[in-house]
Amino acid sequence: MAAKRAQNDALWSQRQTVTDSGKAYAFSADTTREIALIAPAAGGFSYTASDLERISTAQTGCQALFQGGFLDLLDGYTPGTNLRGTQEGMENFRRWQINLDC
């Protein structure tokens, strides 16, 4: 687990800013490990799992899949749910991980 976290931290340190529909996101990907890491680069806008998948697919050319994990357990969660409130409720939020199928 510690090795995976270190790999993800190293990947995140290489993030770049990408723009989608005028909204800035921090983004990095490792297609050999088939993951992307993404987070809003600024506050003040809503975003969804579908947005994160679309951006990840556009940036990598791979099929992207957001796996909600604990979000799937929340009543009413869908791929169109605004993730901003969830993100802001997590003390240690740094980024979302997107699985890639390349």
Strand partners, 54: none
Question: Taking the domains of the chain in order of start, what are their residue ranges?
Answer: 2-101
Strand partners, 30: 35
Give the CA distances from residue 77 to residues 11, 21, 55, 80, 93, in Å, rounded to whole numbers and listed in that order: 28, 23, 20, 8, 18
Distance CA(71)–CA(78), nearest Å, equals: 9
> Which pLDDT tens digit goes with each residue over 25-65?
999 999 999 999 999 999 889 999 999 999 999 999 999 99
The pLDDT of 19-28, averaged and rounded, is 97
Band of residue 89 on the pLDDT scale cut at 50, 70, 90: confident
Band of residue 8 on the pLDDT scale cut at 50, 70, 90: very high
Give DSSP secondary structure letters for 3-21: HHHHHHHHHHTT-EEEEET
